[in-house]
Chains A and B, each alone.
Chain A
Amino acid sequence: MVMEPTDDAPVVDKSVVNGDDSTTEHEMVDVRFSYANERTFLAWNRTSLALVTAGLAITQLLPPFSVPGGRRMIGVPLIVLGIVIALSSLWQWRRNEEAMEERRNLPKSPLPFFVAIVIGITAIVALGLVLFAGNTT
């Protein structure tokens, strides 16, 4: 199969051969863009792990607040957010990969907005606890 490079092509092969040698209408993506997509997934995965670690550290290492369950109010949302991100990033990776194969615009990711909202609310709760609930020690 001979390729014909064009000036505007991150996508380089106009007819793609699948693993089973059948031709499809999808086009081959430059492998560098797929690598970038993979790294984005891994970056989200590390964000997820950081949230889980932070949630655990808050609930296990901080001294308790005077409000019952105060540490959990901060830590649990972070851990749940980490779990949601881990799954969503995999879904987002596949959406991006499919969009690139079909030469569509990349779909907008809802993850940054979602993360900002949850972390913002959690931070406000944490601030309230620190200011008004103190701790028992």
Chain B
Amino acid sequence: MNDQAHPNHNPLERVERDSESDYTEYGNYVGPDPGIAAERTDLAWSRSGVSLVACGIIVFRGMPTITGNASEPIAGSILLTIGIGTWLLGRWSAHRRRGHQTRQRPVATWSDLSPAAYGTVAVGVAGLAVIFLGSR
């Protein structure tokens, strides 16, 4: 291994690498463990999706108290669809970035993350609507 190896490299790494080759010309790390951070990020998106859907189901259950009709799940269904769509969009975006290590800066942008935040805000506002407009 090169004496000037990057300090973050594991000195016990079995595969010898030239430190200069661990980065693309755009500065993206493609050396040892190039995908673990990206994989953790993918998993974080999965957990966020599950949380969003679980919260959506709670709101879904509360929506009939607004409409007064227990068999009227349209509003809840729309919210759930938005939640699931937001999650799929974010996860697809994360997966796409993960698969293109050689592109310029394959990291999240504002447009990648903002739908998740806005989706969460929408669920929260819907929750407040259930509380203040609902019959319970």
Give the CA-CA distance A87 to B110 in the complex, in Å.
12
Q: Are A94 and B120 in contact (CB under 8 A)?
A: no
**B121 and A83 within 8 A (CB):** yes
Decide if B29 touches A32 in the complex (CB within 8 Å).
yes
Whether B48 is near chain A, meaning CB under 8 Å from some CB there, is: yes
Given that A3-B20, A90-B114 are contacting pairs, would A45 and B37 also be in contact in the complex, using a CB cutoff of 8 Å? no
Q: Is residue B76 within 8 Å, beta carbon to beta carbon, of the partner chain? A: no
Within 8 Å of chain B (Cβ to Cβ): is A72? yes
| Residues A38 and B127 in contact in the complex (CB < 8 Å), given A8-B7, A86-B117 | no
Would A38 and B107 count as touching, CB distance under 8 A? Answer: yes
Q: Does A35 contact B (CB under 8 A)?
A: yes
Do most interface residues of chain B lie in helix, strand or loop, or is the interface mixed? helix
Known: A87-B121, A90-B114. A42 touches B128 (CB 8 A): no
Q: Mark B21-58, 1 if CB is under 8 A from A, else 0.
A: 01101111100000001101100110110011011001
Is B96 an interface position by the 8 A CB rule?
Answer: no
Interface of A is mostly: helix
**9 A-B pairs with C-beta separation under 8 A:** A17-B104, A19-B105, A41-B108, A41-B117, A46-B51, A52-B124, A59-B131, A86-B117, A87-B117
Query: Measuring CB to CB, which residues of chain B are less than 8 angstroms from any residue of chain A?
Result: 4, 6-8, 19-20, 22-23, 25-29, 37-38, 40-41, 44-45, 47-48, 51-52, 54-55, 58-59, 61-62, 65, 94, 101, 104-108, 110, 113-114, 116-118, 120-121, 123-125, 127-128, 130-131, 134, 136
Q: Which 6 A-B pairs have the closest CB atoms?
A: A28-B27, A13-B27, A34-B107, A86-B120, A83-B124, A90-B117
